Amino acid sequence: MSVNYQQYYLHQRPHGPATDSDVRVRAVEVDGLNDGQLLIKNEYFSLDPAIRGWMSDEPSYMPPIELNAVIRSSTVGTVVESRHPDFAAGDVVYGLNGWEEYSVSDGYFLTKVPKDNRFPLHYYLSAFGAVGLTAYFGITDAAELKAGDTLLMSAAAGAVGSLGGQLAKSMGCRVVGLAGSDEKCQWLIDGLGFDAAINYKTESGRLNAAIAAVCPDGVDVYFDNVGGEILDAALLNINSNARIIFCGSISTYNAAEPVPGPYNWWQVLAKSATVKGFLVSNYFPRFEEGALAVAALLDDGKITFKDEIIDGFENTLSGFNKLFDGSNKGKLLLKL
C-alpha cells in the first residue's frame, strides 16, 4: 500500500511559543512497509505541554525531537496494514507516534485498545493515557496523602490537575485548585467538587495571601504543574514535612532565556519539605493497574473527565499553543 500524508516536523528549535516557522508541515509518501513495521491511520493526537519541552535541547528525561523529525506525540489510531507479527489490520492502537496523518511504527511502546472497549477512543490518550496515569500515581502514591490533608493543585483545570484533584477528594482530602479564569474556578468547585479555587491571573502579585486565605491550616501537598510565581507562592504556604510533587513547569516551557528556579527555594529546607520529581514512566509496570483503577472510578461516577477536542489536522499547532495561554480546560486533543 502506498499513502501520501501530511506531517508536522521540527524545522528549528523555538524561542518562545512554537510558531509555524519552527514547526512546519510537509507531505510524506510511504510506499510499502518493511518486515516488522505497521502503518497506523491516526485518529487523535495528544496535545501535551511536555511536547514543547521535547522541542528544546535542554537535557531531559527523553532525547529532544531531532531537527527535521516529526513532532513526537501520543496518538490513537487504526492499523491499516501490518507486517508486524503482533498487530493486524483493524487493530486499534495507541502509543508514542507523531503529529502526522499516518504513522509507520515498529510496534515499540504501542498498546492495543481492548476489543471490548466501552469508552470513547480518545480516552486512551487522556484518562487512560499518560495524563490519567500521572494524576493517578502522582496523587495515590507519590504524594503520600492521607485523609484530612490539604492538597494545593496548580493548573487545576488542566488534564492532570482536574483528575488529580478529584482523586484526592475521593481520598478524603481538602483540595484547592489554581486556574486561569473565574469560569474555570467555578467549574472546579461546582463541577468537580474542589473545596476552593483561586484565579491566579486576577490574584497575581498577591498569590501568597490568596492561598493562605483558603488554606488556613497550610498546604500538606503542593502538586506543581506550572512552576514560576505560583510555585513561589505555594512554597510560602507549605507545612512542615510537606510534599511537593514536581510534575511540570508549564509557565517556563516557552521561555526564550534560562528561567531561575523558585525564589523561595529556602522554604524547602525551612519546612523540611520533600520535592519529588515525578515521571509517570517510572510507574510503567503498574500502568494496567492504573488504567483499570481510573476506569472503575469513572464507572462509579467518582470522577469525571473532561476532554477538549479540536478538529482538523491544520489546527494542531494553534491548538497546541492554547495549552500555554490558560485558555484550555481539561485534556486537549486533536481529532483528525
Strand 92-98 to 238-246 pairing:
unpaired
260 scored as a contact of its own copies (CB under 8 A) = yes
206 scored as a contact of its own copies (CB under 8 A) = no
Beta-carbon contacts of 142 under 8 Å, excluding residues fewer than 6 positions away, are 243, 245, 276, 278
In whole angstroms, how close is the CB of 218 to its own copies at the nearest point?
12
- Number of residues near its own copies (by CB under 8 A): 35
Strand 331-335 to 174-179 pairing:
unpaired
Q: Which stretch binds its own copies (CB under 8 A): 99-107, 116-124, 145-153, 261-269?
A: 261-269
Q: Which of 95, 227, 290, 326 lies at the binding interface for its own copies (CB under 8 A)?
A: 227
Q: Which three cell numbers stand for residue 171?
A: 481520598
Q: Which of 1, 259, 292, 296 lies at the binding interface for its own copies (CB under 8 A)?
A: 259
For its own copies, give the closer residue by CB, 166 or 225.
225
230 scored as a contact of its own copies (CB under 8 A) = no
DSSP single-letter state for residue 55: T
For its own copies, give the closer residue by CB, 131 or 197.
131
205 scored as a contact of its own copies (CB under 8 A) = no
In whole angstroms, how close is the CB of 311 to its own copies at the nearest point?
32
Beta-carbon contacts of 105 under 8 Å, excluding residues fewer than 6 positions away, are 37, 38, 39, 40, 84, 93, 95, 97
Measured between alpha carbons, how far is 120 from 225 in angstroms, rounded to an integer?
26
Q: Which residue has the cell 495571601?
A: 209
Measured between alpha carbons, how far is 182 from 172 in angstroms, rounded to an integer?
25
254 scored as a contact of its own copies (CB under 8 A) = no
236 scored as a contact of its own copies (CB under 8 A) = yes
151 with 165: CB under 8 angstroms?
yes
Residues 24-83 that bind its own copies (CB under 8 A): 58-61
Residues near its own copies (CB under 8 A) are 58-61, 227, 236, 241, 246-249, 252, 258-279, 282
